[in-house]
């Protein structure tokens, strides 16, 4: 029995991967799969702002990869967007202000499709939510899960593209967020009538602490594999 604590890494098949973008760059990443079953669904994760320290190992995304293949039979794909570095390595290119990263999102989804991974969700955090909203609406994805969306780079027109397009849009908005709080989020997301807006009391933009982490991972699992919700506090394996 393994108690689920902050640094736990549960069993998974972990593979270092490379993504090839349509503008000629190689991005580094990791794919984590359940050990003994086929994944029920797939999380393609998009990390926070690299110029502010965001990368594929940002803690919520790392913990999703460490836990969810074992606890919820989910595939978790993480990668560094262009010019971003982590212990896995540095992706080629340079930060594109959320513009040229369009090719990065496309490369990640294309990789998941090439591996036959099922039911793809884009899971963005902060800057990653901008990439999901700007470039995910025409992709082969079930929907997007947005963690702490700042809505700095996403226009109202880009939001409106999601309106009733058959894809789910789930936004977790911390009560104490530095950039977009729940009341403001209700107004900003009005162009998307199917938005599932989830205010999270006492949470902050960075989702610090195990309580916040568990809440985020549970909401992801509730969407992607509701049969595995709620997540257990311990792993038997």
Which of 32, 21, 30 has its CA nearest to residue 73? 32
Judge contact between 69 and 76, C-beta under 8 A. Answer: yes
Judge contact between 216 and 147, C-beta under 8 A. Answer: yes
Q: Residues near 21 by Cβ (< 8 Å), separated by ≥ 6?
A: 27, 82, 93, 103, 104, 106, 107
Per-residue pLDDT of the chain (237 residues; tens, 9 = 90+): 999 999 999 999 999 999 999 999 999 999 999 999 999 999 999 999 999 999 999 999 999 999 999 999 999 999 999 999 999 999 999 999 999 999 999 999 999 999 999 999 999 999 999 999 999 999 999 999 999 999 999 999 999 999 999 999 999 999 999 999 999 999 999 999 999 999 999 999 999 999 999 999 999 999 999 999 999 999 997
**Alpha-carbon span 121 to 61, nearest angstrom:** 13
**Alpha-carbon span 22 to 2, nearest angstrom:** 42
Q: Where do the structural domains in the chain lie, given as residue ranges?
A: 12-227
In this structure, the strands spanning 74-79 and 85-86 are unpaired
Q: Considering only the top CATH level, what class is 12-227?
A: alpha beta
For residue 19, what is the DSSP state?
Answer: E
Which of 196, 220, 199, 200 has its CA nearest to residue 209? 200
- Residue 199's beta-bridge partner residues? 173
Which of 54, 153, 53, 143 has its CA nearest to residue 102? 153
């Amino acid at each position: 029995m393994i108690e689920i604590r902050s640094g736990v890494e549960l069993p998974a098949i972990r593979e270092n991967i490379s993504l090839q973008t349509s503008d000629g760059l190689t991005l580094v990443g990791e794919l984590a799969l359940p050990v003994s079953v086929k994944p029920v669904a797939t999380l393609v994760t998009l990390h926070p702002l690299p110029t502010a320290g965001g990368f594929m190992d940002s803690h919520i995304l790392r913990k999703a990869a460490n836990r969810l293949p074992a606890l919820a039979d989910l595939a978790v794909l993480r990668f560094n967007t262009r010019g971003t570095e982590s212990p896995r390595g540095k992706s080629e290119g340079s930060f594109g202000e959320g513009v040229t990263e369009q090719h990065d999102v496309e490369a990640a989804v294309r990789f998941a499709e090439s591996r036959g991974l099922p039911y793809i969700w884009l899971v963005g955090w902060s800057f990653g939510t901008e990439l999901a909203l700007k470039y995910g609406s025409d992709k082969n994805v079930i929907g997007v899960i947005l963690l702490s969306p700042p809505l700095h780079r996403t226009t109202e027109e880009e939001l409106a593209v999601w309106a009733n397009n058959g894809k789910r849009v789930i936004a977790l908005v911390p009560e104490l967020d530095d950039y977009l709080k729940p009341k403001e989020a209700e107004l900003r997301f009005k162009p998307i009538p199917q938005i599932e807006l989830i205010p999270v009391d006492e949470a902050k933009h960075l989702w610090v602490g195990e309580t916040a982490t568990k809440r985020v991972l549970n909401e992801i699992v509730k969407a992607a594999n509701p049969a595995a919700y709620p997540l257990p506090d311990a792993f038997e394996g």
